[in-house]
Amino acid sequence: MFEKLMQLFTVTDDSTADDKMTLELVTAALLLEVSKADFQEDPAEIDKIRTILLQHFSVSLGDINAFIDQARNTSADSTSLYPFTRYINDNCNNIEKYQLVLALWDVALEDGRIDKYEDHLIRKIADLIYLPHSEFIRAKLSVIGKETS
């Protein structure tokens, strides 16, 4: 009886969850979170996510939809951003973190505007991955500048 009770209070090892994480999957999950932050998952934003994943990662064109579904499931199974941001912190340098935030802004602006909820979520992610605020702003202005030119 005490053994069963102890099992309830024993912290489980997160290594099995970490083994499933890849940079591609974490990035896709965070991009999807931004796409639905404004409570509308715009098809243009999903297309932008596909483009980003195809350009920057080894996801094939034939596997992209299945991969996005896998990222959706991973994101839905998570109760917070922590597993994703921890993976980024453990495996990425500041340049890669900046590139991630740049991609997040690209997705947010794909529908023509940055919603306050998208802005808040990207700011939160940037804070959690310890990206300096000046880099957060530089990424935002870079994406906005591309849109207006």
pLDDT of residue 3: 55
pLDDT of residue 91: 97
Please list the helix, strand and coil fractions of the chain in percent, rounded to the nearest 5, in that order: 75, 0, 25
pLDDT of residue 14: 44
* Phi, psi at 148, each rounded to 5°: -85, -15
Tell me the domains of the chain and their CATH numbers.
20-148 (1.10.3680.10)
pLDDT of residue 34: 96
pLDDT of residue 6: 47
Q: CA nearest 109: which of 142, 84, 65, 138?
A: 142
* Phi, psi at 136, each rounded to 5°: -60, -50
Q: What is the mean pLDDT of each run of 10 residues along the chain (149 residues)?
A: 47 49 94 93 92 90 90 90 96 97 96 94 98 97 83
pLDDT of residue 60: 84
Report the C-alpha dihedral over residues 67, 20, 77, 80, rounded to 10 degrees.
Answer: -110
**How far lies 147's CA from each of 98, 106, 111, 119, in Å?**
18, 9, 11, 16
